């Protein structure tokens, strides 16, 4: 690893030595994952009774439709988001596309009759400087739907974290000042890839079992909030225009994902004066206790919170102790992404939980620029005093780090480590590096589904599922033979295992 320019450093060191995330940086060839349009439109895919209008060439719209079909709607969010496109062509980039946008908005309002329309621009319409705000106010005079705009030209934000931060802020612009707040009400901010059916569609009944067989992060955070006698007001981003608009009526905001949640919470505090609790992504026992207790302190519910936590821990502690006997003293190899190299908050939150179990954590597979682009997440974990070791280096663009090299570098032997994968296509080779001989715990948001526990792992139920999965993974790895089909098929796809 050292020969390839990699070394283990504290997260804070990697952050400090990395230049600001823009195109003029020390990492030639690194251009960021996906385009900002993808993050902006997929965030909007969690809303309801709404239409996304793409202002640009049809190919941008097709790129997003394809992403939504293959990586998004299959697993999360709105099963189908309408996204008509203005269809900018060679002539429009000379004469301007604003007129096309006005006529498209009027037509969409008539044809789809939505409650809300959001305009997303693209590289070409941003480069020619189409006046989108004026086009929207012109169309708004004749449209029933409220129309908003989320800037999303791909070239304007090379790194994923920056795209998210800038997109999240725009949801505060959709909200309206509320003269009164509702007692005991709490918004959850920063929910991405979960469509919360807590806001009924106009004229439709609310579905009782609204989140189905597999609960998600918001289900568990809702349980924690309700467990101390408070009520959930809004879960964002989700719901209809009216649901989002009235979010400032809540007494306080709590945060799920920090990347999506903190920017919006800070902006809501500036504009509407809504305070927020400075905790997020509670994976593991202590972070969950802290998340609950800080909300309880803010709302004067410490006694209820202590009672609730005591009850939860009575049930959870035996499983925690049991998991500890399987992994305490071992190394947790936590991958922050395979090709994507972008996941930071969730692997860090997982690392906190694994340290509670007595594991030695090592994070890898995060591109330094993507860490730099997630400054808010970084600040949060530093404030919490959590600064583990991470693999720093010149990551090849969208190429996974070879995990065989990491094992060699750390001189790890079979039985001394557990692999935690956070993304699709985990490393595997039948008979060599396969769950049948190396414990692999799937903690990625794409594939993990656990009955009655949030797949992404927050809260006490998330912790219980994590401990169960760790025990299962270690026990399964003792089989030693009959590799999984995935391990046999995957083989040397990326890694060259000896
Ligand atoms: S042209 Fe720009 S906005 Fe369109 S898909 Fe490519 S990067 Fe994204």
Centre of ligand 1 to C-alpha 117, Å, is 20
**Is the model more confident about 48 or about 207?**
48
Sheet containing strand 331-335, edge to edge, reads 7-10, 389-392, 360-364, 331-335, 417-421, 440-442
Centre of ligand 1 to C-alpha 35, Å, is 6
Which residue bears the tokens 């719209």?
61
The region of weakest confidence among 134-148, 188-202, 468-482 is 188-202
Centre of ligand 1 to C-alpha 151, Å, is 12
Q: Is 35 a pocket residue for ligand 1 (Cβ < 6 Å)?
A: yes
Q: What value does the mean pLDDT of the chain take?
A: 90
pLDDT tens, position by position, 288-303:
999 999 999 999 999 9
Over residues 22-49, the mean pLDDT reads 78
**Could you tell me the pLDDT band of residue 207, with boundaries at 50, 70 and 90?**
very low
Which domains are present in the chain?
7-20+302-490 (no CATH), 36-158 (3.40.50.1980), 175-299 (3.40.50.1980)
Q: Is 235 a pocket residue for ligand 1 (Cβ < 6 Å)?
A: no
**How many whole angstroms separate alpha carbon 368 and alpha carbon 159?**
11
CA distances from 429 to 435, 439, 489 (A): 9, 13, 8
**Is the model more confident about 191 or about 114?**
114
pLDDT of residue 201: 41
List phi, psi (to 5°) of 228: -110, 20
pLDDT of residue 195: 59
DSSP-derived letter for residue 443 is -
**How many whole angstroms separate alpha carbon 158 and alpha carbon 156?**
6
**Is the model more confident about 28 or about 166?**
166
Strands 7-10 and 389-392, bridge-based pairing: antiparallel
Query: Which of 31, 32, 35, 157 to mutate to test ligand 1, by most ligand atoms within 8 A of the CB atom?
Result: 35
Centre of ligand 1 to C-alpha 169, Å, is 21
**Could you tell me the pLDDT band of residue 74, with boundaries at 50, 70 and 90?**
low
pLDDT tens, position by position, 122-177:
999 999 999 999 999 999 999 999 999 999 999 887 788 888 999 999 999 999 99
Q: Is 37 a pocket residue for ligand 1 (Cβ < 6 Å)?
A: yes
Centre of ligand 1 to C-alpha 156, Å, is 10
Centre of ligand 1 to C-alpha 81, Å, is 19
Q: Is the pLDDT of residue 196 over 70?
A: no
**How many whole angstroms separate alpha carbon 296 and alpha carbon 304?**
8
pLDDT of residue 21: 65
pLDDT of residue 461: 96
Query: Which of 56, 125, 162 to mutate to test ligand 1, by most ligand atoms within 8 A of the CB atom?
Result: 56
Centre of ligand 1 to C-alpha 63, Å, is 8
Ligand 1, atom 7: closest residue by C-alpha: 154
DSSP string for 66-121:
HHIIIIITTTSS-S-----B----TTHHHH-SHHHHHHHHHHHHHHH--SEEEEEE
Q: Is the pLDDT of residue 211 over 60?
A: no
pLDDT of residue 199: 40
pLDDT of residue 208: 45
Centre of ligand 1 to C-alpha 66, Å, is 13
Ligand 1, atom 1: closest residue by C-alpha: 123
Look at residues 312, 367, 398 and name the one whose alpha carbon lies nearest to residue 6. Answer: 367
Q: Is 60 a pocket residue for ligand 1 (Cβ < 6 Å)?
A: yes
Look at residues 238, 257, 241, 255 and name the one whose alpha carbon lies nearest to residue 198. Answer: 238
**Cβ partners under 8 Å of residue 238, min gap 6:** 46, 47, 48, 191, 194, 195, 196, 198, 199
pLDDT tens, position by position, 376-403:
999 999 999 999 999 999 888 888 899 9
What does pTM read for this prediction? 0.92
Q: Is the pLDDT of residue 307 over 70?
A: yes
Q: Is the pLDDT of residue 424 over 90?
A: no
The number of the ligand 1 atom at minimal distance from the alpha carbon of 56 is: 4
Q: Is the pLDDT of residue 270 over 70?
A: yes
The number of the ligand 1 atom at minimal distance from the alpha carbon of 124 is: 1
**Could you tell me the pLDDT band of residue 200, with boundaries at 50, 70 and 90?**
very low
Q: Is the pLDDT of residue 193 over 90?
A: no
């Amino acid at each position: 690893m050292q020969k390839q320019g990699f070394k283990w450093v504290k997260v804070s060191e990697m952050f400090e030595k990395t230049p600001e995330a823009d195109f003029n940086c020390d990492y030639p060839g690194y251009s960021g994952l996906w385009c900002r349009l993808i993050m902006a439109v997929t965030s909007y895919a969690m809303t309801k009774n709404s239409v996304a209008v793409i202002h640009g060439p049809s190919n941008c719209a097709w790129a997003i439709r394809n992403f939504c079909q293959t990586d998004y709607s299959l697993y999360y969010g709105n099963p189908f988001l309408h996204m008509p496109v203005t269809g900018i062509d060679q002539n429009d980039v000379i004469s301007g596309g604003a007129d096309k946008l006005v006529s498209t908005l009027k037509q969409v309002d008539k044809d789809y009759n939505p409650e809300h329309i959001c305009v997303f621009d693209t590289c070409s319409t941003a480069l020619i400087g189409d006046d989108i705000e004026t086009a929207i106010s012109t169309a708004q005079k004749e449209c029933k739907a409220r129309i908003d705009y989320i800037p999303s030209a791909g070239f304007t934000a090379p790194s994923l974290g920056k795209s998210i931060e800038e997109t999240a802020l725009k949801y505060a612009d959709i909200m309206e000042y509320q003269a009164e707040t509702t007692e005991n009400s709490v918004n959850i901010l920063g929910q991405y890839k979960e469509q919360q059916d807590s806001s009924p569609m106009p004229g439709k009944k609310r579905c009782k079992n609204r989140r189905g067989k597999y609960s998600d992060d918001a289900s568990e955070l809702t349980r924690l909030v309700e467990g101390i006698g408070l009520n959930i007001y809004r879960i964002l981003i989700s719901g209809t225009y009216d649901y989002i608009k009235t979010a400032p009526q809540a007494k306080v905001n709590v945060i799920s994902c920090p990347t999506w949640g903190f920017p919006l919470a800070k902006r809501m505090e500036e504009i509407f004066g809504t305070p927020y609790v400075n905790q997020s992504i509670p994976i593991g026992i202590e972070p969950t206790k802290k998340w609950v207790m800080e909300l309880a302190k803010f709302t004067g519910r410490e006694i209820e919170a202590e009672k609730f936590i005591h009850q939860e821990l009575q049930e959870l502690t035996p499983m925690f102790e049991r998991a500890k006997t399987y992994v305490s003293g071992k190394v947790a190899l936590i991958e922050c992404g395979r090709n994507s190299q972008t996941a930071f908050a969730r692997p860090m939150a997982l690392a906190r939980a694994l340290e509670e179990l007595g594991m030695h954590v090592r994070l890898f597979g995060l591109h330094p620029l993507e860490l730099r682009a997630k400054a808010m997440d970084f600040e949060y974990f530093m404030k919490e005093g959590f600064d583990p070791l991470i693999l720093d280096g010149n990551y090849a663009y969208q190429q996974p780090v070879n995990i065989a090299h990491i094992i060699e570098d750390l001189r790890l032997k079979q039985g001394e480590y557990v692999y935690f994968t956070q993304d699709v296509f985990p490393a595997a080779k039948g008979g060599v590096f396969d769950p049948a001989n190396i414990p692999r715990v799937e903690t990625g948001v794409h594939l993990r589904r656990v009955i009655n526990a949030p797949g992404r792992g927050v809260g006490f139920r998330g912790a219980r599922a994590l401990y169960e999965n760790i025990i299962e993974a270690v026990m399964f790895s003792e089989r030693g033979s009959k590799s999984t089909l995935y391990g046999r098929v995957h083989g040397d796809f990326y890694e060259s295992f000896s």
